[in-house]
Amino acid sequence: MCQFFSAIVYRTGQIRFCEDDSHSTLIARLGLDDSRPLATRGWVRVEARPDASGAFPAVVVDETSAPAWWTDDADVWADRVRDVAMRVQPAWADYERIEQPAWADYQRIKQPAWADYERIEQPAWADYQRIKQAAWVDYERIKQAAWADYQRIKQAAWADYQRIKQAAWADYQRIEQPAWADFVAAIRTMDGYVPEVA
């Protein structure tokens, strides 16, 4: 997985997770009261970070401390969280396999378009500055004409950039969204998944 697997572990044994690595999303979806002291709650935030091999050697409680029910059986809890993380990991890998090349394509198309925009806009800005400074006496008259030229050139270049960027973004989303839907579909049937509240 990209960085870590986040979950809510209940004292009753349930492990709840979703497609987001944010505990805040899980807490909101589950309707949990996060204002209660840890000692009186029946759940904790946990994280499991993968190593280079894709295993999850460390499972940590993401709280100021760990409750006794966790620490008393920390190894058992950690193994259970690892098992869930390892079940989710292949679905995440499938998503990344599709999303990352699409993101790279989007960046590849967007960046030259931005460079083209800057290549046109910066000399236009320099011309505007040169004309404005040299014509201080007729400052308002000349500045307005130069500014209009700058705006005309800049806006055309910006429109080109936006057109290219938006097309690239649409291509990225066309690829990424089904991949994300497949990822969510792959994990939503797993025990412990927390669906988005309608």
Q: What is the mean pLDDT of residues 117-127?
A: 93
- Residue 114 near residue 161, CB atoms below 8 Å: yes
- Claim to verify: residue 58 and residue 121 sit in the same structural domain: no
Asked if the structure places residue 33 within a domain, the reply is: yes
- Claim to verify: residue 10 and residue 75 sit in the same structural domain: yes
Q: Residue 149's Cα: distance from chain center in Å?
A: 39
Does residue 4 surpass a pLDDT of 70?
A: yes
Asked if the structure places residue 22 within a domain, the reply is: yes
For residue 132, the surrounding DSSP H or E stretch is: helix 74-134
Structure tokens at 65: 């401390």
Query: Tens of pLDDT along 157-187?
Result: 999 999 999 999 999 999 999 999 999 999 9
Query: Tens of pLDDT along 139-157?
Result: 788 888 899 999 999 999 9
- Claim to verify: residue 36 and residue 51 sit in the same structural domain: yes
Query: Tens of pLDDT along 76-116?
Result: 999 999 999 999 999 988 999 999 999 999 999 999 999 99
Q: Residue 137's Cα: distance from chain center in Å?
A: 52
- Claim to verify: residue 82 and residue 101 sit in the same structural domain: no
Q: Strand order in 5-10's β-sheet?
A: 15-16, 5-10, 43-49, 58-61
CA distance linking residue 194 with residue 173, whole number of Å: 24
**Among 26, 2, 15, CA closest to 81:** 15
pLDDT score of 152 = 94
Does residue 2 surpass a pLDDT of 70?
A: no
- Claim to verify: residue 179 and residue 103 sit in the same structural domain: yes
- Claim to verify: residue 110 and residue 76 sit in the same structural domain: no
Asked if the structure places residue 196 within a domain, the reply is: no
- Claim to verify: residue 100 and residue 57 sit in the same structural domain: no
pLDDT classification of 3: cutoffs 50, 70, 90: low
Asked if the structure places residue 195 within a domain, the reply is: no
Does residue 29 surpass a pLDDT of 70?
A: yes
**Among 7, 16, 22, CA closest to 56:** 7
- Residue 113 near residue 164, CB atoms below 8 Å: yes
Q: What is the mean pLDDT of residues 46-63?
A: 89
- Claim to verify: residue 140 and residue 108 sit in the same structural domain: yes
CA distance linking residue 154 with residue 159, whole number of Å: 8
**β-pair type (15-16, 43-49):** unpaired
Structure tokens at 172: 């990225």
pLDDT classification of 61: cutoffs 50, 70, 90: very high
pLDDT score of 1 = 36
- Residue 24 near residue 16, CB atoms below 8 Å: no
